[in-house]
């Protein structure tokens, strides 16, 4: 997984940096550091996906955790 994982995480973070910066410019997201926000959003999801890879029998539980994280994130940062 090593370097492939790092490249994937970097790509995902870069994508969300652009998305969040755009949403801030549109006034839909509280202004802050888009890079830090992208990390706050994507890192927990990446960890949950890694957990699923090791424990696929927990799929439903992990999917619910991902949904709860996304809902929490939206409530916390979006206007």
Give residue limits of the domains in the chain.
2-77
Residue 20: exposed, middle, or buried by beta-carbon count in 10 A (0-12, 13-18, 19+)? buried
| Residue 13 to residue 79: CA distance in whole angstroms | 22
The pLDDT of residue 1 is above 60 = no
What's the whole-number mean pLDDT along residues 21-30?
Answer: 95
pTM to 2 decimals? 0.80
Phi, psi angle pair for 28, to nearest 5°: -95, -10
| Residue 63 to residue 68: CA distance in whole angstroms | 9
What's the whole-number mean pLDDT along residues 45-54?
Answer: 94
What's the whole-number mean pLDDT along residues 30-38?
Answer: 94
Q: In angstroms, how far apart are the furthest CA atoms of the chain?
A: 41
């Amino acid at each position: 997984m090593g370097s492939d994982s790092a490249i994937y995480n970097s790509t995902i973070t870069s994508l969300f940096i652009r998305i969040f910066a755009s949403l801030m410019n549109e006034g839909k997201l509280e202004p802050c550091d888009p890079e830090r926000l992208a990390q706050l959003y994507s890192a927990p999801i990446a960890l949950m996906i890694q957990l699923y890879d090791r424990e696929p029998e927990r799929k439903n539980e992990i999917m619910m955790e991902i949904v709860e994280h996304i809902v929490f994130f939206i409530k916390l940062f979006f206007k």
